[in-house]
Amino acid sequence: MEKDLKIKKIERLNLVLRTIRDVGRLLISENNREKLIKGICNILVEKRGYYNAWIGLFSSGKFSGNFSGKASDKIIDLIADSGMDIRFDDVKKNIENQIFTRCVEHTLVSKEVFSTDDPIKECADCLLSENYSHRGALAVRLEYEETNYGFMVVSIPKELALDETEKNIVKEISNDIAFGLYRLELEEKRKFAEQDRKQSQVRFKTLIENSLNCISIIQNHKIVYKKAGLRKIHGLMTDVFQPPGFLDVYVDDRARIKKLYIELLSNKIKHIQTDFRYSPFDEDKADPEIRWAFLSATKINYLGVESVLTNIMDITDSKEGEDFLRIQDKMTSLGRVTAGIAHEIRNPLSGIYIYLKALKKIYNQMGDITKVVSIIDKIELASYKIESIIKRVMDFSKPSQPQFIMTNLNDYIDEVTKLTSVTLRKSGIRFEKYLDPNIPKCFAEPHLIEQVILNLITNAAEAMKEFQGEKLIILKTFKKDNNVVISVRDTGPGIPLSGQSKIFDPFYTTKSNSSGIGLSICHRIILDHGGALKFHTTKNGGARFIIELPIEHKEG
């Protein structure tokens, strides 16, 4: 009897070894999940002697974390079986609807092997329990490195259902299966990564070969890859950005480009975007020309080595276009200024001409000498007007350097507005003033700021002279960010839309008795202070001028 028991144990051990061997071979050779688990089920039934076996895998290939009881946590998308009858189809449908048997639910919440030697009694609700007369059942989680890939259930002789050795065997087989599924997952990721790498290479190659720019990769201060752009000029640029000397970079820009390159390598900056001048070597030209390039550079990992990817484009043509437009704009401005000066001077000159003719006529007729004196006075007045125009033009074109002091502008603004309040009241204009006592001191030349404020208030008053609506001027001071702000708002007719872009242009005016240079001078004064003079149209009509003066004085 004892001899027979030993023989049975040896036979069981041989079955275990053959089963583990065959499962191991399949795990190494098969890369299809469905074929893999189907083959394992067949081996377990045919070689291990289980009555039946079935394996279920989660839809994502794995189930992480503990089972929470939610349907979304336990979706099975693949089930394989061996030794089952037609009733198993109903079990599979239930699983697809996330209705699980007792043994499967155990694997979702526990790492321990589930075992029962009386399924008919203990699992009465299971559709398969009628087949388990004189049989037992084992169920185990397929887990590797805290990742649950699914479960395995086997039907076993009743006397072995609670045997610890048998449980350990099932556990070992489940661990091997889980490792095999992990290997398949890694292989799948590797294939995706390889496919993505190949696609990236194709995209990169397509991008480089069809780029209009010159692209290069630098490793350890040497160009290891370069591709000239499709433009002919870019064929001369492949060595323009060549560290460490950058010899093709124009000498005045070389130090700056070196500094940016070093800062990029040392991670002080994340990328470079700048323009610079360069001298391309051209065998067809004795004297190389100075051209402009735009550089975009960033750090990348190229073939496992930290590198710098550069994208360089020749922008000489666009620079020349910018210069042309800038010169054209200056010429246009000069034309407007010249026309304004000519217009302003022509009027008093015409008067002088008329007065001289009258003076000549009186002289010829020896008329009343008092008339001569009167005409001379008018000539003198016209001359003063010409002198005044010339002085204003000189003040605008070549203003004196402001003498900055640290001051609170409220005091000067309050003083200058006191001088205008009487005049405004006589003109029927209400004046409101709100000076923030907490504004900080700033660097300014107070008398120039007074001149700007006075000019803005005078302009607002003149704009409302014939206005029929409410006449109100509101002046405010306050702090915004790092600026002292002065706001002058009126309720007048405002400035026509067509003229809003020209209000700071010299000699532009909508008034018949104005030279049109006042706002230009104001604008120049504020710019000399490092500030800004802005114009806004208010919601209820009128105009609002905003002066922003920096609190901190910036040299240069």
Q: What is the mean pLDDT of residues 404-428?
A: 84
CA-to-CA separations, 299 to 269, 346, 405, in angstroms, rounded: 10, 64, 47
Percent of the chain whose pLDDT exceeds 70: 72
Summarised one tens digit per residue, pLDDT across range 367-379 is 666 666 676 777 7
* String of DSSP letters for 430-460: EEEEEE-TTPPPEEE-HHHHHHHHHHHHHHH
CATH 3.30.450.40 range(s) for the chain read 1-189
Residue with tokens 């008018």: 378
Least confident of 115-124, 290-299, 325-334, 347-356: 325-334
Q: Which of 364, 280, 270 is nearest to 316 (CA)?
A: 280
Summarised one tens digit per residue, pLDDT across range 2-55 is 555 566 666 666 777 787 888 888 888 888 889 999 999 998 888 877 889 999
Alpha-carbon distance 420 to 211, whole Å?
65
In this model, does residue 358 exceed pLDDT 60? yes
Percent of the chain whose pLDDT exceeds 90: 17
pLDDT band at 132 (very low <50, low <70, confident <90, very high): confident
Cβ-contact 430, 476 below 8 angstroms: no
Domain topology for 402-555: Heat Shock Protein 90 (3.30.565)
Q: Which of 261, 259, 275 is nearest to 312 (CA)?
A: 275
In this model, does residue 177 exceed pLDDT 80? yes
Q: What is the mean pLDDT of residues 323-343?
A: 60
- What are the tokens at 529? 């202070």
Residue 523 is predicted with a pLDDT of 83
Q: What is the mean pLDDT of residues 312-320?
A: 80
CATH 3.30.450.20 range(s) for the chain read 214-317
Cα 414–518–501 angle (5° rounding)? 110
Residue 556 is predicted with a pLDDT of 47
CATH number, domain 1-189: 3.30.450.40
CATH 3.30.565.10 range(s) for the chain read 402-555
Alpha-carbon distance 535 to 544, whole Å?
6
- Alpha helix (H) ranges present in 30-73? 33-46
Looking at domain 214-317, its CATH superfamily turns out to be PAS domain (3.30.450.20)
